[in-house]
Chains A and B, each alone.
Chain A
């Protein structure tokens, strides 16, 4: 089936450094990837949509320069948290939209998430 692999699952970094999170579609091509942020015991908030071959679109209130999103290929989307600060600590999840594979329509596929802790 449609699988999205997200790495790393956990990362601890120092304030001021940058962290890159990768999401790969393993057995299908994803021209679009959604990036969500989730605070503890809260819902998922859509941050941005990455599109292969074009600029990412960001939701209102999301800092483009802080959260750099790149869709390098049809199977790889990355989120880089630049100059990270403790308030950027959160759970980040990527998701691919529904995809038709081998005549079967798979629904939204989520990565397993990345727990970022900035110290």
Chain B
């Protein structure tokens, strides 16, 4: 497996608070991607950060990448109940194959 751990495994926050989750990986990468999965559904692509980028924003999402530590973080600001989902990081390896982290389950309480 190309992928390491994600932490925390689960996160419960109040609506309006920020949620931060981290991902580590094992090998050199071209890019790192974050996905959201609602319960029992497929994955939705959130954001991609390239190996030469350190930070990227998309709406309420902020992703950082530290290639020296082989780690990335995803920050969701001003969380909403609709953000309740599992979040996965993924790295590409051979021929477009993706390797996924263990995922963080986020619960946003109203």
Contact = CB atoms under 8 A, between A and B. Distances in A.
A107 B33 contact: yes
**Chain B binding site: helix, strand, loop or mixed by DSSP?**
strand
B102 A42 contact: yes
A67 interface: no
Q: Which 4 A-B pairs have the closest CB atoms?
A: A97-B96, A110-B42, A112-B42, A110-B43
Contacts of A112: 41-42
Interface residues of A, number: 22
Contacts of B88: 43-44
A52 to B, nearest CB: 14
A3 B3 CA distance: 27
Contact of A46 (B41, B98, B105): B98
Contacts of B99: 46
A108 B98 contact: yes
A113 B101 contact: no
6 contacts: A32-B96, A41-B103, A43-B102, A44-B98, A49-B97, A108-B33
Given A43-B103, A107-B33, A93 B98 contact: no
Contacts of B43: 44, 93, 95, 108, 110
Interface of A: 6, 32, 34, 41-46, 49, 91, 93, 95, 97-98, 107-108, 110-113, 115
A59 B45 CA distance: 24
Contact of B105 (A34, A41, A110): A41
Interface string B28-41: 00000100000011
Contacts of B103: 41-43
A6 B42 contact: yes
B45 A108 contact: yes
A11 to B, nearest CB: 13
A11 B96 CA distance: 29
A91 B105 CA distance: 17
